[in-house]
A = this chain, B = another copy of it.
């Protein structure tokens, strides 16, 4: 009972949080409500209703199904639905006429054969990864409309009228959904993609910023909040699929804001993948801080400490600079300098470890973690360089 009560109390809190995290969600919900309301007005105006009749519900259906969060997704679904309906409608109509030629008995057999072949082959096409990414919904609607038109043609004599009504209601529905989506506080998938790629780079930067001090336990005043900051990079690790779908949505979008029509969206995938590879290194580094698996670091040499701090802070600055430059779409000015600095620090760390005077002072084992960390940081620097080049 207590648990249920807790859940009931928590629920409005969660709702609030959901809205506060991204206020566009509230706006989106209101937009959907508005679009559905607009399209259900069809029922209330006599002249419109007389033309369309009960098929007006197809328009409601289209709005509900097509309306997505971002403009790109809505446009993609809308265009898919319209195109597929037209193509499948005409094909179904043709097949219906062909079947009519074969007489009363052959008609259902021929139609059944066509439906089976078409449904099976189009379903198979949906397995193509490239087709699936952009036209999956269209193929689904294609099967649907084809079956509906050709099968119901067996009964309905007014098949042409039905096809016509279906097409026009779907056009009305898709048009309503797209215009509400585009003209009232639009959410562009391209913008989202651009920002999320930049934010991911920034997250890596924040990790490296905190890493130095966390690693050598210099300042402990940050405490828990610092740890939380270091966790930020985790979402980068699994960002691949959301980036890919956003690229697919963005490709449907027309010119908007700072983006030209044929913005090189695919380029973001490249940057994203470099960012992820960098994040994998950082995840390994993170293993050294959270000593669940690894024994904690014990680096006594202050010189090594200093250089590691230097590397991580410089590469952090470079990454943050790159992220900022990407967000504002300007050329990064000082990023190259930071990267050079961190490269120099990495090299001097290497030569310091090489120096013969070291062997006597400290045990080799003591510096093994330091060496690993340094080597990983060098990796991170290399990736930061690559990321910089590709922006």
Contacts and interface: CB of A to CB of B under 8 A. Distances in A.
A241 B242 CA distance: 9
State the number of copies, please.
Answer: 2
Interface of A: 14-15, 18-19, 25-26, 28-30, 32-34, 36-37, 40, 43-44, 49, 54, 56-57, 60-61, 64-65, 108, 111-112, 115-121, 123-124, 127-128, 140, 143-144, 147-148, 151-152, 154-156, 237-238, 240-241, 276-277, 280-281, 283-284, 287, 293-294, 350, 353-354, 358-359, 363-365, 368-369, 371-372, 375-376, 379, 382-383, 386
Contact of A40 (B26, B112, B293): B112
A237 B147 contact: no
B144 A65 contact: yes
A285 to B, nearest CB: 10
A379 B294 contact: yes
A18 B129 CA distance: 10
B57 A115 contact: no
Contacts of A372: 371-372, 375-376
A293 B54 contact: no
B354 A364 contact: yes
Sorted from nearest, which 6 A-B pairs have the closest CB atoms? A33-B120, A280-B280, A29-B124, A354-B365, A33-B116, A29-B123
Contact of A364 (B25, B119, B294, B358): B358
A40 B147 contact: yes
A14 B128 contact: yes
Contacts of A154: 43-44
B284 A28 contact: no
Nearest to A30: B120
A127 B18 contact: yes
A295 to B, nearest CB: 10
